[in-house]
Structure 1
Amino acid sequence: MDSEYLIYAVTDRRLHPHLPLEDAVEATIKGGATIVQLREKEMSGKNFLESAVVLKDLTASYNIPLIINDRIDIALLVEAGLHIGQDDIPLTEARRLLPTATIGVSVSTVEQAVAAEQDGADYLGVGSLFPTATKQDATFMSRVTLEQIRKAVRIPLVGIGGISETNVSLLDSLVDGYAVVSALFANPEIERTTKKFKQTVEQVRQSVSDRV
C-alpha cells in the first residue's frame, strides 16, 4: 500500500464557515492527513488560486502533497498535483502538461480504471462507496465493481463517498487510501477527529494484515 494516499483530506469550506480554510487544512494535517485535495466548487477562480497558493505553501511545510481538483491551470501555476473526472480534460492531455505531477482520475467502471492506468494515472478515485451528502449526484459503486477494479489495476485506489470511522472496516484491503470530506471537516475539532479516524484506519488495516 502507498501510505501517501492513506488519509486523503478533501476540502469543503462550507463545512466550517467560521474557520479559515488554511486553518482547517492545517488541523487535519496535524491530525494525520497524508495528502490534501483543494476542491471548492463554489469558489471563484481568483479565490481558488489564492487558496491554492496558501495551501501549497502550507502542505509543502509539512512535506505532504497538494492536489488540485479539476483546475489544471491552477495546478500548473502552483506546481501541485491534479485530480480529474471523466468529463474533465483528458488524462493524456493533462499528463502532457503535467509530466511529473501526481494525477488522479475518478473512475466508476473497470474499463475506465484500466484506461486511466494505461494513460498514466498515478492513482484512481473509486466510488461513491457509501451514501454521501457531499456530492448528491454521485454514482454508487457496488462492492463487486470495486473488487473487479482492484484485480484489474496495479496503481493505488482511493475510496471516496460517505467514508467514516463506522464503515472503513467494510472495505477490508480493497482500497489503499480513504478520501474524506465531511467526516473530518464537519467536526469542530478537526485535528482530534482526523487523528481518531487515522487510528481507526490503521487498526482496520492491521486487522486485515493479521488475517492474511
Structure 2
Amino acid sequence: METDYFVYAVTDRRFHPELNLIDAVEAALKGGATIVQLREKETSGKIFLEAAIGLKALTERYGVPLIINDRIDIAMLVGAGLHIGQEDIPLREARRLLPTAMIGVSVSTVEQALIAEREGANYLGVGSLFLTTTKRDATFMPKETLEAIRQAVQVPLVGIGGITQENIGELGSLVDGYAVISTLFAKKEIERATQEFREAAKQARQSISDRV
C-alpha cells in the first residue's frame, strides 16, 4: 500500500502544554493527518520511549504510519519508521538495521538527494521552504534547489518549514506532502486546524490540476 504523505504531522509538546501528547496527536488524526512523526528533542529516553509506545498504538488504530525522529533504537523497539538528518546515523546503516521500515532523510542539495535515493530512502524531507520559528537552526532552501531536487529523484518529497494555508499554493507540484508542526499543534483546536490545512492543501492541488 502506497504511503500518503499529504498531511505529515510533526509533534512538538511546546505548542500544547495543557494538552497531553496522545490527545494532541489524536486530534490531528481525527482532522485528517495521514502520517505522524514523533519529534522529541528535549526529553529523556524514557519519556521518548513511553511516548513512542503510546503513539504507535494510537496510529495503528487509525491506520497511519508512525515515524520516529533520529532515534533508531526507539524506532526498532516500537516497530516504527525512522527519519534522519545528515548528521544522524548514516542511511546505509539505518537500512541494515531496519530493512523493511519506512525511512525518510532530510536533504538540502541535489547530491544529498541522489545519494539518499540510491541508498534506499522511502522519501526525502526538503526545506526549510519558508521562514519558520519552530526549528531555529533551519536553513532556507531556495525554490531553485527544490526544483532541481524534484527533477533529479523519483522518491516522494515532503516539504517542511513554515508551510501554512496561506503559502501552500506557492509550492505547486514540487512536493508530495507537507510536514507541519505549529500550523497544527499551536492551534487551540487541533482537529479543526488539521481539517482546514488539509482542505487548503487539496484546493492547492486542485488548482494545479485545473491549470494542466
Q: TM-score, normalised by structure 1?
A: 0.99
How do residues 17-56 of structure 1 correspond to structure 2 at under 5 angstroms?
Answer: 17-56=17-56
- Counterpart of 2:71 in structure 1 is 71
Q: TM-score, normalised by structure 2?
A: 0.99
- Counterpart of 2:100 in structure 1 is 100
What is the alpha-carbon distance in structure 2 between the residues aligned to residue 131 and residue 150 of structure 1? 20
Name the SS for the 2:148 alignment partner.
Answer: helix
Q: Deviations over 1:111-145 (max 9, x none)?
A: 00000000000000000000000001101100000
Contact 1:3 / 1:176 at 8 angstroms: preserved in 2? no
Number of corresponding residues? 211
- Counterpart of 1:183 in structure 2 is 183
Overall identity of the aligned pairs, in %: 71
Name the SS for the 1:184 alignment partner.
Answer: helix
Name the SS for the 1:179 alignment partner.
Answer: strand
Alignment root-mean-square deviation, CA: 0.7
Query: How far off its partner does 1:40 sit?
Result: 1.1
How do residues 163-178 of structure 1 correspond to structure 2 at under 5 angstroms?
Answer: 163-178=163-178
2:147 counterpart of 1:147:
yes
Name the SS for the 1:17 alignment partner.
Answer: coil
Letter paired with 1:180: V
Name the SS for the 2:55 alignment partner.
Answer: helix
Q: Deviations over 1:179-205 (max 9, x none)?
A: 000000000100000000000000110
Query: How far off its partner does 1:209 sit?
Result: 1.0
- Structure 2 unaligned residues grouped into runs of 5+: none
Letter paired with 2:105: V
2:118 counterpart of 1:131:
no
Query: How far off its partner does 1:210 sit?
Result: 1.3
